[in-house]
Amino acid sequence: MTSYNQSMNLYYLKDVTLYRVILILLPIFLLNNALVPQEKLSSIMAQGQQEQNNATATDMKNLRDSIIPQAEEVNEANLELIKICTNSPNARCDNTMIIIYNDCVAYPAFVATHIPSCGDSRLFSYLVARELLE
C-alpha cells in the first residue's frame, strides 16, 4: 500500500509542478506575442495612410457607385420588413427589427445618407410597443 501511495504522490507532484509551470509561462507567452512593437505599429499606420492618400477620385466614385445600389436594396428590404412586422408582430419580427435598429445605430453616417428606412417612425414605435428597447 505504501508504494502505491508514494507513486500517487509522485504523480500528484508532477501534475502540480506542470500546472505551475504552465501558469507562469502562459501569461509571459501571451504578453510577448500580443504586444505589437511601437515601430511596427507606426509602420502599419503609415502604410495605411499612404494607401488612403493614393486613392484616386475614380476609385472613390467606383466605390460609391458599388455601395449605393446595395444600400438601396437594404433600404427597400428594411421598409418591407418594417411594414410586414408592424402589421403582424411576432418573435421573429422582434429579432429582425432589433437587428435593423442596431445596424441603424451602429452606422449612423452611412445610414443617414443611404438607408432612410432607419428614420422610419414605425421601426422605433414597434420596438417601444414591444418593450424591446432598453
Instruction: Write out the DSSP string of the chain.
Output: -HHHHHHHHHHHHHHHHHHHHHHHHHHHHHHHHHPPPHHHHHHHHHHHHHHHHT--HHHHHHHHHHHHHHHHHHHHHHHHHHHHHHHS--HHHHHHHHHHHHHHHH-HHHHHHH-GGGG-HHHHHHHHHTT---
CB 50 within 8 A of CB 97: no
- 134, 123, 133: which is closest to 89 by C-alpha? 123
Q: Which three cell numbers stand for residue 16?
A: 502540480
Report d(CA 102, CA 134) in Å as an integer: 12
What residue ranges do the domains of the chain occupy?
Answer: 57-129
Beta-carbon count within 10 A of 82 CB: 22
Report d(CA 134, CA 119) in Å as an integer: 19
pLDDT tens, residue order, the chain (134 aa):
566 656 655 556 566 666 666 666 655 555 444 444 555 556 666 666 666 666 677 777 887 788 788 888 888 888 888 888 888 888 888 988 888 888 888 888 777 677 888 888 999 899 999 998 87
